[in-house]
Amino acid sequence: MFSKSAQYYDEIYASVDKDYAAEAAKAHKIIQRYRQSKSKLLLDVACGTGVHAGYLSKYYQVEGLDLDSGLLSVAKKKHPKMRFHQGDMTDFDLGRQFDAVVCLFSSIGYVRTKSRLQKAIKTLSRHLLPGGVLVIEPWFSPKQWHPGRVSMTQVSKPDLKIVRMSLSRQRGKLSLIEFQYLVGTPKGIEHSVEIHELGLFTHKEYLDAFKAVGLKVTHDPEGLDGRGLYIGTNQ
């Protein structure tokens, strides 16, 4: 879904002042409050271009995992010493466990269906050490989603101009976002379209998915940036 925008991902989120450093510091505090394990291993699932991963590496030995090879190659370029894996969060096995597994910026929504949400949480929980913490920043619930909203983001640098317009839609329990990009560089102006599909899960569906795999779950309604946070522990 990010095939057209991977190389511009960081520019786009820098232009909306997403504060990855502050979010990573908050995530660290929460992990410290809940974890009982003693090492410093953290897995960032759906790490994208590795921005949180970079800030979290101040506190942890971080590895990242993502489905998208384009985003992963941006992450690897920025953090050549960090280990990155390509995989699907609903079904991967690194054969190792971590003190903290995080899945941030609502990436969990990309699993799309309730059964894949359950599979993802099972897969992530299998990668937790005893006493480890699973931190998931959710996507919108069905009640919070508003179809028919148009929004616009702009990047304006001397040699790079981007306009990204988006339109929200809904199909049953799926939220759809159509992104249209106009990217201008001295080489020319290109237009591209991406359709992102994310599952709209209820609070109860998130809680049940944690409980089904034996995790004790806490909901923090504010979280890192107002989207809330589900925090699971296995002891």
Ligand X SMILES: C[S@@+](CC[C@H](N)C(=O)[O-])C[C@H]1O[C@@H](n2cnc3c(N)ncnc32)[C@H](O)[C@@H]1O
Residue ranges binding ligand X (CB under 6 A): 2, 46-48, 51-52, 66-68, 71, 88-90, 104-105, 107, 110-111
- The letter for the amino acid at 50 is G
**Paired strand residues for 167:** 150, 178
Closer Cβ to ligand X, 92 or 131, answer by number: 92
Element (H, E) at 76: helix 69-78
Q: How far is the CB of 222 from ligand X (least distance, A)?
A: 17
Contact, 120 vs 198, CB < 8 A?
A: no
Q: How far is the CB of 204 from ligand X (least distance, A)?
A: 22
Contact, 73 vs 107, CB < 8 A?
A: no
Q: How far is the CB of 52 from ligand X (least distance, A)?
A: 5
Closer Cβ to ligand X, 69 or 235, answer by number: 69
> Looking at beta carbons, which residue is closest to ligand X?
48
Closer Cβ to ligand X, 74 or 129, answer by number: 74
Closer Cβ to ligand X, 116 or 219, answer by number: 116
Closer Cβ to ligand X, 131 or 196, answer by number: 196
Question: Alpha-carbon distance 152 to 182, whole Å?
Answer: 11
Taking the C-alpha atoms of 134, 135, 140 and 143 in order, what is their torsion angle to the nearest 10 degrees?
A: 70
Burial 184-199 (b: 16+ CB within 10 A, else e): eeeeeeeeeebeeebb
* Cβ neighbours, 10 Å, residue 7: 14
Closer Cβ to ligand X, 41 or 117, answer by number: 117
Crossing angle of the two packed helices 114-126 and 203-212, in degrees rounded to 10: 40
Q: How far is the CB of 105 from ligand X (least distance, A)?
A: 3
Q: How far is the CB of 186 from ligand X (least distance, A)?
A: 28
Q: How far is the CB of 5 from ligand X (least distance, A)?
A: 10
Secondary structure class of 73 (helix, strand, coil)? helix
